[in-house]
Chain A
Amino acid sequence: MLLEVKNLKIYFYTKRGVIRAVDDASLNLDKGEIVGLAGESGSGKSTIGYGIMRLVPFPGRITGGQILFKGEDILKLDENTFRKNYRWKKIAMVFQGSMSGFTPVFKIKDQIIEVLKIHEWNGDYEERVKELFKMVNMDPILADKYPHELSGGQKQRAFIAMALALNPEVLIADEPTTALDVIVQENILNLLKELRKDLGISIIFITHDLALLSEVSDRDYILYAGKVMESGPSEIIFKKPRHPYTQALIDSIATLDKDMVKGIPGSMPDLSNPPTGCRFNTRCPLAKDICFKEEPKMRIYSDGDEVACWLYD
């Protein structure tokens, strides 16, 4: 296993209380795999991404669990070692809205070269930038431009090029297409699939758009209120989901073949005071007594699906 996240807890210590944004979440990523992290806003999907990069913003803290990269717990390393050997070198991230992450006053090329310099890249910087631009299907001439001279889709591809600068083994893509038009979105999706095929890179794809995710991921983790509700191969998650939340979420996706969409009544619980039992119990149409008393454990099925729900006990 390339990356294993075990029982990760990320809490935010605010004046209102402790917000349990990620609470005992576990996930795995194999070499060459594209794994989806999906859920609504506040589900903790981006926070897990930041956790793996060890970039959880203040007042958040990783308060428990392990993150194993090829067996080594990267949470135990000191910041300097992690920064030098792991962040961006082994694990890189394309942030949400990262197309606006370039400084407007420097050329794209110089911003990528800065990354190469800081991480002491061995080789010709200019050549590397050219190589990276070809990897993301862009004309290397565009590297000489300033960010505002590129379109949204081009900037996003350039940022992906920057993320690939040091040949990372894991790429975390947090909503990489959210602000882009659908035709450009399709183009970025194709690019990620090509990168996986050509470079064997492993990708964690974080998104709220389940239809989009279904077109790219091998396996998925469905998160709700900081917990993994269900995980499994995409064929199961999207075609035969077991958890009532996964089912409701898939029913609520608006696609062109639907004449109406069902919503999920209610809203996500306050994570500073989550409900006892299953965290979905306040919105679940099938909740029974035990769901309000005790938290369900993960059940593993032979088809690879894992579900935390009392319905299947």
Chain B
Amino acid sequence: MVMKLPAGSTTDYIVKVDKLSVHFTKGGVFSKKILIKALDNVSLSIKNKEILGVVGESGSGKTTLGRATIGLQKPTYGNVYLKVDGKEINVGKSSLKNVNKYVQMIYQDPYSSIDPLMRVYDVLAMPLKYRKEKDVDARIEDAMRLVDLPLELLENKVFQLSGGQRQRLGIARAVVVNPRYVVADEPTTMLDASLKGEILKIIKDAREAKNISFMLITHELPIAKIISDRIAVLYLGKLVELGKSDEIIKNPLHPYSQALIDAYPKINPELKDKIKEMKVKPDVIRPEKGCVFAPRCPFAMQKCIEKEPELKEVSPNHYVACWLY
């Protein structure tokens, strides 16, 4: 069966994920071996200079998806393509060295992802020297300015930086080599609210200055809404909804997206004495067949338990995998 690729019919993409499945086995020594479908038949694409937000809760497969797009996770089934300078690279089948030229990653924890004993200068110089790039100093200064870090810090050791400064350095390290595509995995999660806004601004600036496409993985819906052009909602390894950010937040179609948006805290002191009605059961149950969300879904029908819905375009560029539509 041929499925139309969500927004992938254009040639203007940098990353194309085609029917990607990543399966893991769990247990085996003390318990029965079980197959975990971390990602199951996911197709989407990221356009040039686009920021795609990938949201979902723990276990949704969002980090696995990010890692698979830069070759850190081999697909069990399906393919991931990277299209740079007119040529297409099959990420899962090429050497990491070939892929690494074009991709970078920004990690969640700025404390564990950068060697605290290195000089700031060396953190940025190392990837450039490794690639035998020229004008090392000029490019380092350029990257420092882009992430709004004072040049005086170049001689400091990483442990002397604050958490916010370290995350800026993490972004500088990713963009200093001029990648075409960057996966940012929860880049604001470890930071205080007062610092999140600055980091988002830097990511947007980097996109403009260096023509970078981003996948921004987050469990914080407002962060995804603020920064991304489109949002993909994952649930238990399935892509359940994909569309323009404003569309997804204002007019979510999938009952899971609706529940997520509904449950997200709002500044509303009037709620303090009210028990919020929970339409969706809190505990995750993974069904054997049918729609993955059916066991928790308030609208589940017989059909949902039996057969899995496919991703459908229900309004222009708004895709949802749900039998309600």
Contacts and interface: CB of A to CB of B under 8 A. Distances in A.
Contact of A181 (B58, B193, B226, B278): B58
A259 interface: yes
B58 A252 contact: no
A152 B58 contact: yes
B278 A187 contact: yes
Interface stretch (A18-26, A70-78, A162-170, A232-240): A232-240
A215 interface: yes
Given A40-B193, A193-B275, A263-B197, A238 B222 contact: no
B264 A182 contact: yes
B222 A215 contact: no
Contact of B194 (A189, A193, A214, A264): A264
A126 interface: no
Given A183-B280, A193-B273, A216-B272, 8 more contacts: A182-B219, A183-B57, A189-B276, A208-B193, A214-B265, A214-B268, A257-B266, A264-B195
Contacts of B225: 256
Given A181-B57, A239-B269, A256 B264 contact: yes
A62 interface: no
Contacts of A265: 198
A214 B269 contact: yes
Q: Interface residue tally of chain A, by bracket?
A: 35 or more
Contacts of B200: 261
A181 B192 contact: no
A7 interface: no
Contacts of A186: 263, 276, 278, 282
B173 to A, nearest CB: 20
B193 A252 contact: yes
A10 B309 CA distance: 57
Contact of A215 (B249, B271, B280): B271
Contacts of A152: 58
B195 to A, nearest CB: 6
Contacts of A209: 265
A249 interface: yes
A253 to B, nearest CB: 6
A183 to B, nearest CB: 5
Contacts of A261: 193, 196-197, 200, 222, 226
Contacts of A214: 265-269, 271-272
Interface of B: 57-58, 162-165, 192-198, 200-201, 219-223, 225-226, 249, 259-261, 263-269, 271-276, 278, 280, 282-284
A52 interface: no
17 contacts: A151-B283, A181-B219, A182-B219, A182-B221, A184-B283, A185-B265, A193-B272, A214-B267, A217-B269, A234-B272, A254-B223, A254-B226, A256-B261, A260-B226, A261-B200, A263-B196, A265-B198
A258 interface: yes
A184 B196 CA distance: 24
Interface in A238-287: 238-239, 248-250, 252-265, 267
Q: Nearest 10 CB-CB pairs, A to B?
A: A263-B197, A254-B222, A264-B194, A181-B57, A234-B269, A261-B197, A211-B265, A40-B192, A212-B265, A263-B198
Contacts of A256: 221-222, 225, 249, 261, 264, 266
A260 B228 CA distance: 11
B221 A185 contact: no
Contacts of A257: 266
Given A234-B269, A261-B200, A183 B259 contact: yes
